[in-house]
């Protein structure tokens, strides 16, 4: 069975003192967090930052050395079969860049207030991201 490692994160910024969380819409119509596959020679942290920049146009910095969470799941790949996926999610502060969806990978990206990000996650996100977003919001001082 093949193992695949990906990384991404909960990207945040403050505008006029208001916390905003980046959420994306994937090609399956689900609300999710930016992430992608590790490339040869990359660290997990480099993967997270590269994927966020590629998918959303935002350059960020990792806020804490340890991941918020490591999510494991399986999916079926058409050619390979069952793949064990391991995704490392970090808390990432947006530094610069213009928000722009990489249309080859995702259908949309936006900045949302924490309560709206949480609402979208619960109603149209992947269940295994609930605890990732919850941990990020708590670390940012926002209780849900």
Q: What is the CATH number of the domain that holds 131?
A: 3.90.79.10
pLDDT at 38 over 90: yes
19 CB-near residues (< 8 Å, 6+ apart): 12, 13, 113, 114, 140, 142
Do residues 115 and 122 touch, judged by C-beta distance below 8 A? no
Do residues 112 and 23 touch, judged by C-beta distance below 8 A? yes
User: Mind listing the pLDDT tens digit for each residue in 59-89?
Assistant: 999 999 899 999 999 999 999 999 999 999 9
pLDDT of residue 122: 97
pLDDT at 53 over 80: yes
Is 60 part of any domain? yes
Cα(9)–Cα(21) distance, rounded to whole angstroms? 11
Tokens in use for 56? 């959303």
Is 144 part of any domain? no
pLDDT of residue 39: 96
pLDDT of residue 1: 82
> Residue 14, class by beta-carbon neighbours within 10 Å (0-12 exposed, 13-18 middle, 19+ buried)?
exposed
pLDDT of residue 144: 76
Is 124 part of any domain? yes
Residue entry with tokens 């490339």? 39
Is 65 part of any domain? yes
Number of domains in the chain: 1
Is 91 part of any domain? yes
Do residues 86 and 47 touch, judged by C-beta distance below 8 A? no
First to last CA, the chain: 38
| HSE-CB for 20 with a 13 A CA cutoff | 14
Looking at residues 90-105, what average pLDDT do you find? 93
């Amino acid at each position: 069975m093949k193992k695949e490692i990906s990384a991404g994160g909960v990207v945040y910024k403050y505008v006029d003192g208001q916390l905003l969380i980046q959420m994306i819409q994937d090609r399956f119509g689900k609300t999710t967090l930016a992430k992608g596959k590790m490339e040869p020679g990359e660290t997990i942290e480099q993967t997270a930052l590269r994927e966020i920049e590629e998918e959303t146009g935002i350059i960020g910095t990792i806020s804490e050395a340890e991941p918020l969470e490591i999510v494991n799941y399986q999916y079926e790949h058409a050619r390979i079969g069952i793949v064990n996926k391991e995704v490392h999610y970090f808390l990432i502060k947006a530094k610069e860049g213009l928000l722009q969806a990489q249309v080859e990978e995702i259908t949309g990206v936006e900045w949302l207030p924490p309560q709206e990000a949480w609402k979208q996650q619960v109603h149209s996100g992947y269940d295994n991201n609930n605890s990732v977003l919850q941990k990020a919001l708590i670390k940012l001082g926002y209780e849900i």
